[in-house]
Amino acid sequence: GWTQRAWFSVSSDGGAGTTRLASVAESFDLVRPTSSVSGACLVGALLRRAEDPDRATTHADVWGAVDELYEALHERMGHTFLPPGRVDSHARRHAKLGVLTAWNDDRRTRREDVLDVLDRAVSRTLVGACR
């Protein structure tokens, strides 16, 4: 599932259906894909993907996803956006993570909004691969 105001949500009752937001300290352990979570925010999902040893995903791939998600969000908001495939500095990418986190956690952001940004980012990636 999707969550807001934390990287992850976890079962609060041993699996009976209620969840709680994971603390910051817990979240560092929950980044590992073998950890059990019931939900993740957009950034939490990226972090788990980056740490999954069973996937061929590299950290460069995940940072590329951050770039495309950020530009997809700008596109969705009607702002000028950069073409697919642009690579930013490490500091700028960290700032982008902050923007994506703030947007994900905004009370007006809905699950459908996050899915739309994901769809736009995938489309941007496909278009960039065809160039």
- 23 and 70 share a domain? no
pLDDT of residue 48: 87
Q: Indicate whether 62 pLDDT > 70.
A: yes
Task: Confirm if 2 and 43 have CB atoms less than 8 A apart.
Answer: no
| Mean pLDDT over the full length of the chain | 88
Written as six digits, the tokens of 12 are 């609060």
Domain housing 20: 8-41
Which has the closest alpha carbon to 128: 85, 86, 87, 88? 85
Decide if 87 is inside a domain.
yes
User: For the chain, how many structural domains are there in total?
Assistant: 2
Written as six digits, the tokens of 71 are 């530009």
- 120 and 85 share a domain? yes
Pick the residue with more confidence: 12 or 45?
45
Q: How confident is the model at residue 40 (pLDDT cuts 50, 70, 90)?
A: very high
Q: What is the pTM assigned to this prediction?
A: 0.83
- 70 and 105 share a domain? yes
* CA atoms within 13 A of residue 41's CA, in its CB half-sphere: 22
Decide if 37 is inside a domain.
yes
Ramachandran quadrant class, 85 (left: phi over 0; alpha: psi -120 to 50; beta: rest): left
Decide if 117 is inside a domain.
yes
Which has the closest alpha carbon to 72: 50, 106, 103, 51? 103
Q: Indicate whether 14 pLDDT > 70.
A: no
Decide if 47 is inside a domain.
no
Average pLDDT over residues 100-115: 97
Q: Indicate whether 102 pLDDT > 90.
A: yes
Tokens 């009976």, located at residue: 16
Measured CA to CA, the distance from residue 109 to residue 99 in angstroms comes to: 13
Q: What percent of the chain lies above the pLDDT cut of 90?
A: 47
Q: Indicate whether 81 pLDDT > 80.
A: no
